[in-house]
Chain A
Amino acid sequence: KAGVTQTPRYLIKTRGQQVTLSCSPISGHRSVSWYQQTPGQGLQFLFEYFSETQRNKGNFPGRFSGRQFSNSRSEMNVSTLELGDSALYLCASSWGTGGVSLEQYFGPGTRLTVT
């Protein structure tokens, strides 16, 4: 079974631009979560989608948004990029959203650099 895939793996953008990152979960997984990892703030939860609905949201500004498609693939979008958005963005998928179904499998991440 293929793992979680994220595209692109590396991205360089300029301040003020917007960016879209993509995540394909493990086949059969319906939940996709997004995290931001930085040296200063560590791993921070962005949001989680299950069956095309956002179920949980972290404490990030509205510039960060996401969506999930009917095939469970998910995208996250960051508008008006700031230098502080430079980070490793990790996507994780799981079969469900609670209890024993909550075993998240992480992708390799997308390294975003904002200049």
Chain B
Amino acid sequence: AQSVTQLDSQVPVFEEAPVELRCNYSSSVSVYLFWYVQYPNQGLQLLLKYLSGSTLVESINGFEAEFNKSQTSFHLRKPSVHISDTAEYFCAVSELRSASKIIFGSGTRLSIRP
């Protein structure tokens, strides 16, 4: 069975600083990978996804994540964060054979200091 580990439960950073949210997964088969974001008092939104092809995927608001098969990682990065990026970020994985069964990590709370 697949699983997802988000190594940091909380990440505090200063505004305009770079950030990396770490995610490792475990699966014996090919997977799809996702990052979701949950803003305070709001529902989950898909930030970006890796299905196939280029291992570097980008979101419209400056985040990017790189699929590393050898290290089974899918870390999320942003070169310069903004106050509005304050949210909880969830890494998730699903196996190709049951793609709609998405397994989430425990989440990383990103707090931005001015």
Contacts and interface: CB of A to CB of B under 8 A. Distances in A.
A64 interface: no
Interface string A10-54: 000000000000000000000101010000001111001010000
A31 to B, nearest CB: 6
Given A108-B42, A108-B43, A43 B104 contact: yes
Interface in B69-108: 90, 94, 96, 98-107
Contacts of B49: 103
A44 B3 CA distance: 11
A98 interface: yes
A48 B104 contact: no
Question: Taking chain A's interface residues, is the majority helix, strand, or loop, or is none over half, making it mixed?
Answer: strand
Contacts of A103: 46, 49
A94 B105 contact: no
B51 interface: yes
A100 B107 contact: no
Contacts of B42: 108
A5 B96 CA distance: 28
Contacts of A109: 43
A70 to B, nearest CB: 19
Nearest to B94: A102
A94 B32 CA distance: 15
A33 B44 contact: no
Contact of B102 (A100, A104, A107, A108): A104
Interface string B22-53: 00000000001000100000111110010100
Q: Considering residues B98, B100, B104, B105, which has the most beta carbons from chain A within 10 angstroms of its beta carbon?
A: B100
A63 interface: no
Nearest to A31: B100
A8 interface: no
Nearest to B98: A56
Contact of A98 (B36, B90, B96, B104): B96
5 contacts: A33-B100, A33-B101, A33-B102, A56-B98, A58-B101
9 smallest A-B Cβ distances: which pairs?
Answer: A43-B104, A56-B101, A106-B44, A98-B99, A97-B100, A106-B43, A42-B106, A48-B100, A108-B43
